[in-house]
Amino acid sequence: MGIQTSTEITRLLKERWDRSKQRADWRVLSGCNPKGRHDMFISSPDHLWQLKFEQTGSSEAIGFGLDVGTLDEELKALMSRGSPVPFGLIAPQKADLAIIMAGVQQYSSDTTQKLCKEYISGEQARLDEKLDRELERLQTEPGFRRRYREQKERERIPYV
């Protein structure tokens, strides 16, 4: 299937969720990588997907994702690591206004980095490159460049 936009992956996830008879077994794990990008892994009882986002504004992000593949017992164990925290994701769609996902996720940057490096490392460089190219393309737009610069400045300010 290859790399797709976060919008396309979200639509696929919604279709799978709607057909799922084991919704209680779905999991979300997210964390932040050293580049400041967010890695989100979503699993059904037997499958795993990844979304990689970069915050581009106070309520905007750009992202891409991929179908990682079949979920085995080792990956299921990793998906349950981390601290439980709320999550929310709004993915604009062409046909509908948006798909909104919300619930409780596990949050662990260490675990998401382990998944990225040890389990699906070959795709990580391609996801990062795709995100880099899209950010470069968007930075040719003055309005985007200003919002993105402001967002990066907000991220540099430590919260006390």
For the chain, the domains span: 4-156
Sign of the torsion angle spanned by Cα atoms 17, 38, 88, 130: negative
Strands 27-32 and 98-107: parallel
Mapping DSSP to helix (H, G, I), strand (E, B) and coil, where does residue 46 land?
coil
* Residue pair 38/55 in contact by the 8 Å Cβ criterion: yes
Could you read off the pLDDT tens digit of each residue along the chain, which spans 160 residues? Answer: 588 888 888 889 989 999 999 988 999 999 988 888 888 999 999 999 998 888 887 777 888 888 988 988 988 998 999 999 988 877 777 777 778 888 889 999 999 988 888 888 778 788 888 888 888 888 788 888 888 788 878 777 776 5
**If 0-12 CB within 10 Å is exposed, 13-18 middle and 19+ buried, where does residue 109 land?**
middle
Nearest CA among 80, 57, 26, 81 for reference residue 151: 57
Residue keyed to tokens 């998944």: 115
